[in-house]
Structure 1
Amino acid sequence: MMKNLMSWGFLWSLVALLSSCSGTKELEGRLAPNPELSPNSETNNPSASLLPNNFPTTIPIYPKATSQENPEGLTPEKGLTRWSSSDSIKAIADFYQQQFQSTPWKIVEPFSSNPQDKPLIVQGNGLEIKISFLNSADSNTEFTLEYQAVKNSTPSTVKSSPNLSPSTLEVVNFSDLDTVPEPLRSSVQNLASLGILTPDKTGDNVFNPNGPISRRTYAKWLLNAHNKFYENAPEKQIRLGLKTAQPAFGDVLAKDSDFEVIQGLAEAGLIPSSLTGDTSTTVFRPDAPLTREDLMTWKVPLDTGKALPKASIDGVKETWGFQDTAKINSKALQALYADFQNGEKANVRRVFGYTTLFQPKKTVTRAEAAATLSYFGYQGDGVSVEDILQK
C-alpha cells in the first residue's frame, strides 16, 4: 500500500513539473516581441521590396501600396512615382496626414475634405513632396507621389511654385483691357481674372495688349495657364525644372528668375533645345520678341497631347493655303499641320482669323499670345477658360 502511494506521488510531481515548464514557455512566447512589428521586418511594409531604384528612403510609403511602374531617371533629388492600393482614398490620406505631422516634416498644403480635389504638399528632409489621388475605381485606388529637392528653405518660408499651386496666381486689375481687339477681348479678360496674365513693363496695371511679348513672358503664361486648367489632373501638368539641373540653354542659368519655368518647358520637350535633338539651339533668347513660329511650336503640342505629326510644305499649303508656307521652319510646319486638324478650335483661327499669310517671323502681340491660352485641347476634347471660371 505504502509503495503504491509513493508511486502515485512521484507521478503527480512529474506532471506538475512538466506543466510548470509548459507554462513558462507559453509566458515567454507571450512576452516575446511580435516579428510583424519589428522595424526591420519586411512584413512591416510589404511595399519595401517594390520601391523604385533611387527612391529616397526617408519618404514614408503606404504599407498596402504597390508601385505601378519603375520609372527611369529617378534620383534622390527628383522623381515621380505611381502607386496602387486596394484601400480607400480616405485610409491612404489619413495615413499620410498622420505620417507628416511629426518632425522633420511640415505640411505646407493639407488635403481638402475631398482628397481627390487637392493634393497634399509637405516639406522636410530637404525635399518637397506632393501626393495626388488619380482615381478610385473597381476597388482600387491610384495615387502619385512626386518629390524634388529643396535648398536653403524652411516650411515657414515655402513659396508656392506655378506647377504646384496655380491657385496662388495674383490677379491684376488692368486699366487698359478695353483696348484689346474686340475678337480677343473676352478671352483676355477671362484669363486676367484667373491671374494668369502679368503686367507689361510699361506700368504696374498696364497690360499693353497691342505691344510685343517676350519669349520669357509667354513661357510663364503658357506654363501657368496649362497647369491652372489642369489643376486637378497632376499627370497632365508641366513640372518645373530643378535649380540643380544642367541648364538646357546657355543664356538661362539657375540664377535666372524664370529658370525653373523655361527649364521645365525644355525638359518636357515643348521648347526646342539640345534635349529634343536640336543641337544647334544652344540659347533661348528669353527677352527676344515671340514670333508666330514660336507661338505655334510651343502651344500646339499641349493641345494634341502627343508628338507633332510629320508635315511638308505642300501639306501645309494645301490645308491652310498660306502663300508664304516656304518661309516657315520645319517645327512650325508640323505644329500648323496639327493645328489645322483642330477645326474651329485651331489657334490660327481663334487668334488670327482668316488669313492667307502666316508671316512666321512676325512678332506676336500680348493680346494674341493671351488668346491662344483660352483653350487647351484637341478635336473636341479640351478645356476652355470659361469652363474653369464656371467651376
Structure 2
Amino acid sequence: MFKRSILLLLSLMALSGCADESGNRSLEDSFAADPQLQPTSPESEATEGPVAIPEAPELERFPPDLPQYEPATWLETTELEGDRLRSRWHSDDPPEVIAEFYRGRLQQDNWQLEEDRVEGEEIRLQASREGQDWPLTVVIRPRTAAENGTNQAQTDSPQGTEFELTYVATPIESDPAPPEESEAAAPQPSPAVPGAPSPEGRSPQTTSFSDLEQLSDSLASYVKDVAQLGILSPLEGDRFGPEETITRRDYARWLLEANNRFHEGQSARQVRPARGNREPAFQDMPQSHPDFPIIQGLAEAGIIPSPLSDDDGPSLFRPDDPLLRKDLLRWKVPLDVRRGLPDASVEAVQETWGFQDATGLPADVLEAVLGDFENGERSNIGRAFGFTRLLQPERPVTRAEAASSLWSFGSDDEARSAPELLGN
C-alpha cells in the first residue's frame, strides 16, 4: 500500500507539477474542473468544487515513459477495448506548439512517427516503438467557445486546445512488495516545452538509420555523431536519405533543436519557438501551419531573414523549397559567431576563401561567408562542402551536408562538437 501511494504521488507530480508559494498550481488544482470546460446542467450547477482526483489504479496505468505535455489540465480518462485508454487534456497553448512538442519528444525517445497529418484544424500523430506492440495516438484540436461553455455570440476565437492520448494501459501489480524489499521509485523527468532546456541528467538519445553506410567518408563521422543527438528526422521509416536534398523547413527544425541541445541549461543561448497569437512573419507560414512555432521563432530571433529583421526581407518562407548553400550560411553562422558579423566585401571573400564566384553575393551572405572563415577548422563550409574554390551559393544542400553543419556550434575557444556534447 505504501508503494502504491508513492507511485500515485509521483505520477501526479510528473503530470501536473507541485505547488509552491509563487502561484504554481497545486496537485488538486491541476485536476480541478475548469468551470469553463464543464457542460452546463442542473447537476453541474448544483455541485461545486474540484473534480475528484482519479483513482490510483488509473494513474498507475499511465505508462511512465509516455511523453506528456505541460502545462495541461486533465479532463477525463476513458476505457476502450482491451487495455487501451484514452485520456483527454486541455491547455491554453496553440495546437501547433503542442504538436511540435510531441514530434520532438517522440523522436527523442526513439518512437517512429508513422502518421503526421493535418485535417482542417485537427492535427493527428501516430507513433510506434520497437519492443512495444501498441501504437500511441495523439489528436490535437482547438477547443471552441461553445465547448468551453461560453456563449458563442460573445467570442468566435478558439478557447485553448484539447488533445487526446490513446495508449495501452500499464498493468497494475496485484501484490506490491513491501517498501524495504523493493527499490525506491524514481520520479520521471517532466517533459519540457519545445525549445526549452531539457531536464538535467538526460541520457543522449541515439537515432539509428539504415542507410548511413552510403555516406562518403568525408561526411560519415559528422552525420553519425549528429544522429546520436536525436535531432535528425528520417525521410521514411528508418531511411535517412543522405544524398537527397533537404527542405528549408526540415533544416530550420534541425537547426533550432540542435542549437537548443548544444546549449541546454543556458537560457540566454536558446532560440525559443513562438508561442501565442503572434503576427506571422511570413505570409505562407500562418499560425495553423505545423512548423509555425519553429519558423516564427527563428524569424523573431533574427536568424532567418524576414520583414521582421529587414523591411525589404522576404515575405514568403517557402518551407518545401530546397535549402540552398547561401541559406545554410545565413542561418547557421550567426549561431556560431553570436555577435555582429564582420563587414565584408567581394574582395575580402576572394582573398580569404578564394571563391571565384563571390561576385554578386548579397551583403548578408558575404558577411556570413567571411564570419565562417574566421571559425577556422570549425567552419561550416569546410565541414559540409569540403575544399572548394566555388561556393555555388544557389546549389541545393543535401541532407548529409545539412547534418554535418550541425556537428559543431560556437567559435574560438567556445566551439563545441557533437562528440564533446555526447561525452558530457
TM-score, length basis structure 1 = 0.61
Tell me if structure 1 keeps the 8 A contact 2:197–2:265: no
CA distance in structure 2 between the partners assigned to 1:165 and 1:225 by the alignment: 12
CA distance in structure 2 between the partners assigned to 1:257 and 1:363 by the alignment: 24
User: Is the alpha carbon distance of 1:314 and 1:298 closer, same or farther for their aligned partners in structure 2, counting shifts above 3 Å?
Assistant: same
CA distance in structure 2 between the partners assigned to 1:230 and 1:224 by the alignment: 10
Tell me if structure 1 keeps the 8 A contact 2:92–2:161: no
User: Is the alpha carbon distance of 1:252 and 1:243 closer, same or farther for their aligned partners in structure 2, counting shifts above 3 Å?
Assistant: farther
Q: How does 1:1-391 map to 2 (within 5 A)?
A: 95=20, 99-105=24-30, 122=71, 151-153=160-162, 160-164=192-196, 171-200=206-235, 203-391=236-424
CA distance in structure 2 between the partners assigned to 1:258 and 1:344 by the alignment: 33
CA distance in structure 2 between the partners assigned to 1:258 and 1:235 by the alignment: 23
Structure index of larger Rg: 1
Cα distance per residue 1:273-324 (max 9 Å; x no partner): 0000142410000000000000000000000112322211111111111000
Tell me if structure 2 keeps the 8 A contact 1:252–1:259: yes
- 3-state DSSP class of the match of 2:231? coil
Aligned-residue offset at 1:232: 1.5
Tell me if structure 2 keeps the 8 A contact 1:304–1:378: yes
Tell me if structure 1 keeps the 8 A contact 2:344–2:366: yes
Aligned-residue offset at 1:104: 3.7
Aligned-residue offset at 1:171: 5.0
Aligned-residue offset at 1:154: 7.7
Aligned-residue offset at 1:173: 2.1
Q: Percent identity?
A: 40
Q: Which runs of 5+ in 2 are unaligned?
A: 1-17, 32-69, 74-89, 94-158, 167-189
Structure with more contact order per residue of length (Cα contacts < 8 Å, sep ≥ 6): 2
Aligned-residue offset at 1:165: 5.6
User: Is the alpha carbon distance of 1:177 and 1:314 closer, same or farther for their aligned partners in structure 2, counting shifts above 3 Å?
Assistant: same
User: Is the alpha carbon distance of 1:245 and 1:269 closer, same or farther for their aligned partners in structure 2, counting shifts above 3 Å?
Assistant: same
Tell me if structure 1 keeps the 8 A contact 2:195–2:273: yes
Tell me if structure 2 keeps the 8 A contact 1:180–1:209: yes
Aligned length: 264
Tell me if structure 2 keeps the 8 A contact 1:123–1:155: no
Amino acid at match of 2:26: Q
- 3-state DSSP class of the match of 1:297? helix
CA RMSD of aligned residues (A): 3.1
CA distance in structure 2 between the partners assigned to 1:252 and 1:301 by the alignment: 23
Amino acid at match of 2:419: E
CA distance in structure 2 between the partners assigned to 1:211 and 1:165 by the alignment: 31
Aligned-residue offset at 1:197: 0.4
CA distance in structure 1 between the partners assigned to 2:161 and 2:191 by the alignment: 12
CA distance in structure 2 between the partners assigned to 1:96 and 1:343 by the alignment: 50
Amino acid at match of 1:246: E
Aligned residue in 2 for 1:34: none
- 3-state DSSP class of the match of 2:415? strand
Aligned-residue offset at 1:99: 4.7
Cα distance per residue 1:119-139 (max 9 Å; x no partner): xx75579668xxxxxxxxxxx
CA distance in structure 2 between the partners assigned to 1:207 and 1:290 by the alignment: 16
CA distance in structure 2 between the partners assigned to 1:193 and 1:96 by the alignment: 40
Cα distance per residue 1:159-186 (max 9 Å; x no partner): 8543026569975421001111211111
Aligned residue in 1 for 2:153: none
User: Is the alpha carbon distance of 1:204 and 1:278 closer, same or farther for their aligned partners in structure 2, counting shifts above 3 Å?
Assistant: farther
CA distance in structure 2 between the partners assigned to 1:123 and 1:307 by the alignment: 39
Higher helix proportion, which one?
1
Tell me if structure 2 keeps the 8 A contact 1:243–1:260: no
Tell me if structure 2 keeps the 8 A contact 1:243–1:259: no
CA distance in structure 2 between the partners assigned to 1:287 and 1:205 by the alignment: 21
User: Is the alpha carbon distance of 1:232 and 1:176 closer, same or farther for their aligned partners in structure 2, counting shifts above 3 Å?
Assistant: same
